[in-house]
């Protein structure tokens, strides 16, 4: 069963965290990702750039609108996603609990419904 | 001449190591302003490093540093009072001369500082970091790294907590008898927290033990300052006994070694004896509590180094008593494993089935224990299922490898 861990936290720049300060967090994330991979549970990780680099696109009002900035302007931002494949929610929570981002942000654990691989849609179950 | 600055620096460092907490507690106790006291003490230490190379370190370095820091603090409050309408703190009491007084004859206010750090109005998560910084003088960056919290975040939380102590006037005093039990529990739990920092379970991290020795030091300090509090003695015994097996617990490669496979010659006999001494002093006060019971459980395991066997009957009685005063999932699972040692694996599984506490279905030790017991009982199918569940809940690579090996062995033995 696939789960996506959504990492929500303030951006380093907003809370005065320097490059040097990021080093221990990077080491922790490195160990975390390697642990997940070692367990055969890691599907994919993307750590996102700050929302300053974000652009939104919509046609919902009839015409194309392209805007700078994120979709939701919140204090805590979506900062990265870990997609993991584990037997059940208990296991997903066991891994989420160890995610370094829990120390300064909130990790949302959300089950995947469908994903697309090898040319076809697949159920996560 | 090159040695002199080094000697002066070493003398100043010596003061930090031995007396930082005592000096800081003394400086902060009257005003309740930990941050101002830290600044004054840092200034004094910096001056020592600047001046001592030329003058030589004074005969009484602590007295020198305390006097300079106290004067700094007094200046700070005078200028604060002049600039604003801040109430002038009790500065007058600081007028004695300490230069010729040794650190051992000045009052030890560290207990008062510890009780302020673990005051009910302080966020429980910040009590341990605050103690480590103020009483032991640990660097905030080191504390942040041990908790794997970004350094500025930890620094900011520490600053906020100290401001709260100052602004809300959290008192620096040792509680009286009526308050003591609850307040002491908070202090002891914070110290225990430093010993048991464990968000880890992620391979590749080695910070696990970095604060353990600091916690043992704090526990013994409290036990020595409160020799009539059985739980304070109990915690000192617990941490001494538990840490006595530290070097037997892991292979040089980092692989953990289960208790029953450890090399007994690596257990530290001196540490065990020291722990036992604390435990005997605690028992003599005849008032049992959680930390004494946990220490007694450690003691029962340590006894194997002398007797060559583990007294499971005594352990079961201790777990029953522990669950009565401080129920926890870990203790319930350990009790079930002890029942299995005494009455066989089926009895252990039945005891596991009897645990109804919330979260047991996603508690890794419960599944790992169940798997071992089912395998012992010859129930291969259920054992393999329990191993799979335990493995799915295991985030530590060594433990997972070990569980997989066991599961493979069970499958191999179970197939004709």
Chain-chain contact of A17 with B394 (C-beta, under 8 angstroms): no
Chain-chain contact of B395 with A95 (C-beta, under 8 angstroms): yes
Query: B317 with B357, same domain?
Result: no
Query: B45 with B29, same domain?
Result: yes
Query: B256 with B321, same domain?
Result: yes
Chain-chain contact of A35 with B144 (C-beta, under 8 angstroms): no
| Segments forming the whole domain that contains residue A112 | 2-123
In a domain, B101, yes or no: no
**Using an 8 Å Cβ cutoff, are B40 and B27 in contact?**
yes
Query: B314 with B397, same domain?
Result: no
The strand ranges marked E within chain A are: 2-9, 42-47, 55-58, 65-68, 77-85, 106-111, 114-117, 120-123
Handedness of CA B366, B351, B195, B153 (dihedral sign): positive
Hey, is B356 helix, strand or coil? coil
pLDDT of B223 reads: 95
Query: B85 with B116, same domain?
Result: no
Query: B332 with B350, same domain?
Result: no
Query: B80 with B120, same domain?
Result: no
In a domain, B181, yes or no: yes
- In tens, the pLDDT along B262-275 reads 888 889 999 999 99
DSSP code at position B377: T
Residue B245 C-alpha, separation from nearest chain A C-alpha, in angstroms: 26
Tell which wins on pLDDT, B70 or B96: B70
The predicted model gives B20-33 an average pLDDT of 88
Q: Is the pLDDT of residue B161 over 70?
A: yes
In a domain, B46, yes or no: yes
Number of structural domains found in chain B: 3
The strand ranges marked E within B310-368 are: none
In a domain, B346, yes or no: yes
Looking at chain B, the whole-number percentage of residues with pLDDT higher than 90 is 51
What backbone torsions phi and psi does residue B377 show, to the nearest 5 degrees? -80, -5
Q: Is the pLDDT of residue B91 over 70?
A: no
Q: Is the pLDDT of residue B254 over 90?
A: no
Query: B239 with B333, same domain?
Result: yes
Query: What is chain A's pLDDT, residue by residue, as a tens digit (125 residues)?
Result: 999 999 999 887 777 777 777 787 888 899 899 999 999 999 999 999 999 899 999 999 899 999 998 888 888 999 999 999 999 999 999 999 999 888 888 999 999 999 999 999 999 87
- In tens, the pLDDT along B270-307 reads 999 999 999 999 999 999 999 999 999 999 999 998 89
pLDDT of B61 reads: 85
Query: B70 with B136, same domain?
Result: no
Compute CA B116 distance to the chain's CA centroid, rounded to the nearest angstrom: 17
Which residue(s) pair with A117 in the sheet?
Answer: A120
Q: Is the pLDDT of residue B199 over 80?
A: no
Is some CB atom of chain A closer than 8 A to the CB atom of B397? yes
Query: B285 with B383, same domain?
Result: no
CB-count burial class (<10 Å; 0-12, 13-18, 19+) for B3: exposed
Residue A32 C-alpha, separation from nearest chain B C-alpha, in angstroms: 6
> Left if phi > 0, otherwise alpha if psi is -120 to 50, otherwise beta: which for B187?
alpha
pLDDT of B209 reads: 54
In chain B, which among 113-172 make CB contacts under 8 A with chain A? 144-145, 147-153
Handedness of CA B53, B55, B59, B60 (dihedral sign): negative
Number of structural domains found in chain A: 1
Q: Is the pLDDT of residue B370 over 70?
A: yes
Q: Is the pLDDT of residue B126 over 70?
A: yes
Query: B114 with B216, same domain?
Result: yes
Q: Supply the mean pLDDT for chain A.
A: 90
pLDDT of A22 reads: 77
Q: Model-level pTM? A: 0.82
Is some CB atom of chain A closer than 8 A to the CB atom of B78? no
How many residues would you count in chain B? 416
Neighbours of B169 (CB within 10 A): 8
Question: Which CB contacts under 8 angstroms, 24+ apart, belong to B67-70?
Answer: B67/B97, B67/B98, B67/B99, B68/B43, B68/B44, B69/B23, B69/B27, B69/B37, B69/B40, B69/B41, B69/B43, B69/B44, B70/B27, B70/B40, B70/B94, B70/B98
CB-count burial class (<10 Å; 0-12, 13-18, 19+) for B283: middle
**Using an 8 Å Cβ cutoff, are A43 and A85 in contact?**
yes
Hey, is A106 helix, strand or coil? strand
Looking at chain B, the whole-number percentage of residues with pLDDT higher than 70 is 88
Residue A74 C-alpha, separation from nearest chain B C-alpha, in angstroms: 19
Query: B143 with B292, same domain?
Result: yes
pLDDT of B97 reads: 52
Q: How is residue B5 written in tokens?
A: 């600055």
What is the Cα–Cα distance from B386 to B392, expressed in whole angstroms? 10
| Segments forming the whole domain that contains residue B18 | 3-92
Banded pLDDT at B203 (limits 50, 70, 90): very low
- Which residue in this structure is represented by tokens 């991290």? B205
Q: Is the pLDDT of residue B5 over 60?
A: yes
Q: How is residue B387 written in tokens?
A: 């191993």
């Amino acid at each position: 069963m696939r789960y996506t861990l959504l990492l929500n936290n303030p951006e380093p720049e907003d809370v005065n965290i320097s490059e040097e300060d990021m080093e221990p967090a990077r080491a922790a994330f490195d160990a975390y990702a390697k642990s997940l991979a070692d367990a055969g549970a890691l599907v994919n990780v993307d750590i996102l750039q700050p929302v300053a680099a974000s652009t939104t696109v919509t046609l919902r009002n009839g015409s194309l609108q392209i805007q700078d900035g994120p979709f939701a302007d919140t204090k805590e931002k979506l900062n990265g996603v870990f997609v993991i494949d584990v037997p059940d929610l208990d296991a997903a929570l066991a891994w989420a609990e160890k995610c370094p981002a829990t120390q300064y942000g909130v990790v949302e654990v959300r089950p995947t419904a469908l994903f697309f691989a090898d040319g076809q849609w697949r159920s996560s179950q | 001449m090159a040695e002199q600055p080094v000697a002066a620096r070493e003398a100043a460092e010596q003061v930090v190591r031995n007396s930082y907490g005592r000096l800081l507690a003394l400086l902060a106790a009257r005003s309740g302003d930990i941050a101002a006291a830290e600044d004054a003490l840092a200034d004094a230490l910096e001056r020592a490093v600047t001046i001592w190379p030329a003058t030589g370190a004074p005969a009484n370095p602590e007295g020198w540093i305390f006097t300079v820091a106290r004067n700094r603090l007094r200046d700070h409050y005078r200028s604060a009072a002049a600039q604003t309408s801040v109430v002038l703190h009790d500065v007058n009491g600081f007028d004695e001369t300490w230069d010729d007084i040794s650190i051992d004859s000045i009052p030890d206010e560290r207990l008062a500082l510890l009780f302020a750090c673990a005051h009910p109005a302080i966020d429980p998560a910040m009590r341990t970091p605050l103690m480590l910084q103020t009483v032991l003088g640990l660097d905030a960056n080191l504390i942040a790294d041990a908790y794997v919290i970004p350094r500025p975040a930890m620094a900011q939380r520490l600053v906020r907590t100290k401001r709260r102590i100052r602004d809300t006037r959290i008192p620096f005093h040792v509680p009286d008898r009526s308050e003591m039990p609850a307040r002491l529990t908070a202090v002891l739990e914070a110290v225990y927290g430093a010993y048991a920092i464990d968000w880890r379970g992620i391979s590749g991290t080695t910070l696990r033990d970095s604060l353990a020795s600091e916690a043992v030091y704090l526990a013994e300090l409290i036990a020595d300052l409160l020799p009539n509090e059985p739980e304070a003695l109990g915690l000192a015994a617990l941490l001494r006994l538990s840490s006595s097996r530290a070097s037997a617990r892991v292979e040089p490669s980092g692989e953990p070694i289960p208790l029953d496979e450890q090399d007994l010659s690596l257990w530290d006999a001196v540490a065990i004896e020291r722990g036992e001494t604390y435990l005997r002093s605690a028992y003599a006060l005849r008032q049992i509590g959680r930390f004494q019971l946990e220490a007694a459980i450690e003691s029962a395991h340590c006894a194997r180094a002398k007797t060559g066997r583990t007294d499971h009957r005594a352990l079961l009685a201790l777990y029953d008593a522990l669950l009565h005063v401080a129920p926890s999932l870990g203790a319930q699972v350990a009790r079930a494993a002890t029942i299995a040692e005494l009455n066989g694996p089926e009895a252990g599984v039945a005891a596991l089935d009897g645990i109804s506490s919330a979260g047991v279905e996603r508690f890794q030790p419960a599944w790992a224990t169940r798997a071992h017991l089912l395998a012992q009982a010859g129930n291969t199918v259920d054992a393999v299922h329990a191993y799979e569940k335990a493995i799915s809940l295991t985030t530590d690579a060594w433990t997972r490898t070990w569980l997989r090996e066991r599961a493979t062995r069970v499958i191999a033995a179970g197939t004709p």
